[in-house]
Amino acid sequence: MNRAKKRHQKNLARKALKKKRGHPPQPSGQTGSGVPADKLLGLAQKGLQLHQAGQLQEAETVYRQILDIKPDFAEAHNNLGNVLRELGRLDDAVATYHKTLALKPDFAEANYNLGNALRELGQLDDAVASYDKAIALNPDYAKAHNNLGNTLKELGRFDDAVASFQKAIALKPDFSEANYNLGNALQDLGSLDAAAASYYKAISHKPDYAIAHNNLGTALNKLGQLEESLSSYEKALAIDPDYAEAHNNLGVVLQDLGRLEEAAACYRKSRELNPDYTGAVSNHFSLLLNLPGRSPEDLFAEHLRLSESHARGITPMAEPFPNDPAPERRLRVGYLSSDFWDHAVGKVVLPLLSSHDQEIFEIYCYADVPRPDAMTERFRSHASDWRSIADKPDEEVAKMVRADLIDVLVCMAGRFDRNRPLVCAHRAAPVQVSFHDGATSGFEDMDYWLTDNFLHPADTKELFTEELLRLPVLYQFTPFEDAPAVKTLPADHAGFITFGSFNNPAKINEDVIRLWAEVLKSVPDSRLRLKYRSLYGQATLQDRLLEGFEASGIAQDRILFTAFRDTFKQHLGLYGEVDIALDPFPFNGSMTTFQALWMGVPVISLVGETFISRTAGSMLHHAGLGEFAVNTPEAYVASARDLAGDLERLRILRANLRERMATSPICNAPAHTRSVETAYRDMWRKWCAQPKNIP
């Protein structure tokens, strides 16, 4: 019985090694050193058990004992390599796998394991070669196809990655990880419906796959299916309540649905679980801009608290700058942005970059753009040097900026999207500037905030840590080349006035609903059309808004929702159904304001006390439409009512607004760029004049 039990244990060891670590050592009789094969197999079994139990140091000792006895034991080298890789000793693991393959070149699993170690070392091309060898030796190696796909994805070869994942799934249809990875690659390619289908398949094979539920939620969110997205994030959190990223992502959906307090709670929970998760801090920053009724003092205090949390643990680089402190030399200006693509902020910045005087300014772009597009190439064409920083840590980017001897680093839209204000917290450049952010960065090492006299008048009540530098006009837009023609006034054929807002529903808070209800009451039979991507197709969002308007005395049939996934040209064409646009507050529209005006639709805006509540007013002011930027709720209602009652004036505005915008200061890129360049030069001269920089 004892011998039978031992044979059973050895068979189990062989099966376990074959399943998890590759083929087990199978010596027979006596080894070359005279050690019985059974003893070696016993040691192999012990090493496997220790490895599976997580006792990695002990497993390493056992595998080295085996190799002392039999140095040409390829399987033992392979298993030792696996232990070393899990110990984080990747270089040693790679060397061990190479020894394995020198002994046994046709060992498919060792090639696969070598690929894994090389991938972790960041040697992606070498990893691809190793996976290719493993697959050549074993074409049905589903795991190798899967990990090859992951590596190709990291190299940006998304189509090739998709093909590898699909091959892995063809070999093993219930391979949940491969279905999940395929979903990620498809999402990176923008194939959101297909990505969602892949996540659903992964979950069908592995229902407790929390990260697949989370990433499904992200795909559904991008598709505008907010309710389904909400459900996916909630399922991820039911499986893993401590999943910080899922709490953050749930907050994003709740914010899009206008449930701001619930969103804030999600961001706080995410930060509690992972204090280093900067995404939750950035999202909380942006949420603050939507909250009504906050004083400038309260907002500033909250910004400072979040900034301290955001930059926690960062120590600015203390080394002196090697930049030549000559005040009039050619300057190196770096733009740091995730918006160098077909994005609202990108469209605002492109006129500036395309108009820079390259004889006086050398332009560097630090682009966190995982999926470049045609507009990315336009940005690249205007840069002296282009640096891709996607997935690079902030500290590494800061060191790149220093190595490039950037004089003025411009941080674009810091709290939004994937933007990287923490690069500035490392003190990457002598002069650091915030441009197109919604409020103060709160960082000591952010030197300037670009603005204009309307956004920050001399008596501004807003508080900030930067020094304000006022331009003649901040916002700059490129006329839409493919915009449809302006349509005739909708009221002339509808028989009633249609107000409209195509802004993010997160901006439509209870105060906005009440004021817009007063506007609708002041104009009998008028309607309000709401559109933002396809989000207004969500029943919960519609219910929130309809209930709010009904509570303010407006019947539900006066609120019109437009919700479908349209092209940009179709989107602009829908302004043909709007007579007057209503701007939300405190977070005004910017690109939506310009779009409305370009399509002949005047915009009524309530001017507040902060930058973000004065953006639409700034545009109206600089376009000569300052009468529509009002200072009180009563004036807002009166302005909308009076304009709605003057159809002839509406017709004239509709016919002339596009030309007015095209000839205004907000569509004069050369003049705007000269003012920005003057600002950069003034900042640089001031830095050069500091005592430590004077030669």
Residues 454 and 508 in one domain: no
- Chunk the chain into consecutive blocks of 10 residues (it has 695) and report each block's average pLDDT, rounded to whole numbers: 39 38 44 65 85 90 89 92 94 96 96 97 96 98 98 93 98 98 95 97 98 98 94 98 98 95 96 90 92 93 90 91 97 96 85 94 95 91 95 95 98 90 96 96 96 97 97 94 94 97 96 98 98 93 97 98 90 97 97 97 98 97 97 98 98 98 96 98 97 79
- Dihedral, 159, 161, 164, 170 alpha carbons, nearest 10: -70
Half-sphere exposure of 694 (CA within 13 A, CB side): 4
Q: Which amino acid is at 415?
A: R
CA separation for the pair 606, 518 (Å, rounded): 14
Residues 598 and 451 in one domain: no
Residues 355 and 415 in one domain: yes
Q: Could you tell me the CA-to-CA distances from 593 to 253, 349, 509 in Å, in that order? A: 24, 16, 18
pLDDT for 493 equals: 96
Q: Tell me if 219 is assigned to some domain.
A: no
pLDDT for 33 equals: 53
Closest CA to 515 of 536, 537, 499: 499
Residues 444 and 521 in one domain: no
Q: Tell me if 585 is assigned to some domain.
A: yes
Which of 139, 173, 196 delimits the end of a domain?
Answer: 139
Q: Tell me if 310 is assigned to some domain.
A: no
Q: Tell me if 321 is assigned to some domain.
A: no
If you ran DSSP here, which 8-state letter would residue 36 be given? B
Q: Tell me if 481 is assigned to some domain.
A: no
Half-sphere exposure of 28 (CA within 13 A, CB side): 0
Residues 617 and 496 in one domain: yes
The CATH number of the domain holding residue 608 is: 3.40.50.2000
Q: Tell me if 228 is assigned to some domain.
A: no
Paired tokens of 136: 């050549």
pLDDT for 34 equals: 58
Residues 381 and 505 in one domain: no
Residues 510 and 651 in one domain: yes
Which of 444, 471, 498 delimits the end of a domain?
Answer: 471
Residues 497 and 428 in one domain: no
pLDDT for 41 equals: 82
Q: Tell me if 456 is assigned to some domain.
A: yes
Domain coverage including residue 511: 490-666
Residues 393 and 538 in one domain: no
Residues 513 and 618 in one domain: yes
pLDDT for 35 equals: 63
3-state helix, strand, coil in the chain (%, to 5): 55, 10, 35
Q: How many domains does the chain have?
A: 3
Residues 542 and 587 in one domain: yes
The CATH number of the domain holding residue 101 is: 1.25.40.10
The CATH number of the domain holding residue 426 is: 3.40.50.11380
Which of 117, 139, 161 delimits the end of a domain?
Answer: 139
Residues 546 and 648 in one domain: yes
What angle is formed at CA 368 by the lines to CA 365 and CA 373, rounded to 5 degrees?
Answer: 85
Q: Tell me if 433 is assigned to some domain.
A: yes
